[in-house]
Amino acid sequence: MELTPQELQVVRLAATGLSNRDIGAQLFLSPRTVGYHLYKAFPKLGVASRAQLVRLDLPA
């Protein structure tokens, strides 16, 4: 399964260590919506935590 463009943006920002609130502020989303995108993206990426996002080679 591929990430949606929105999921990819959220995952990239989460991999830098930003909080859901900070990601939401940058993308004009609510922190809850950011959490939802991460919830949907984690299984697609095969990760269980934000710490694992750092090790991924995300597409450009």
> Where residue 15 sits, what CATH number does that domain have?
1.10.10.10
Does 60 map to a domain? no
Does 42 map to a domain? yes
**Both tokens of residue 52?**
């694992």
pLDDT of residue 1: 74
State the total domains in the chain: 1
Does 59 map to a domain? no
**Both tokens of residue 48?**
């269980």
Residue 51 φ/ψ region, left for φ over 0, alpha for ψ in the -120 to 50 degree band, beta for the rest: alpha
pLDDT of residue 57: 84
Residue 15: give the domain boundaries. Answer: 5-53
- Tens digits of pLDDT across the chain (60 residues): 799 999 999 999 999 999 999 999 999 999 999 999 999 999 999 999 999 999 988 876
pLDDT of residue 4: 95
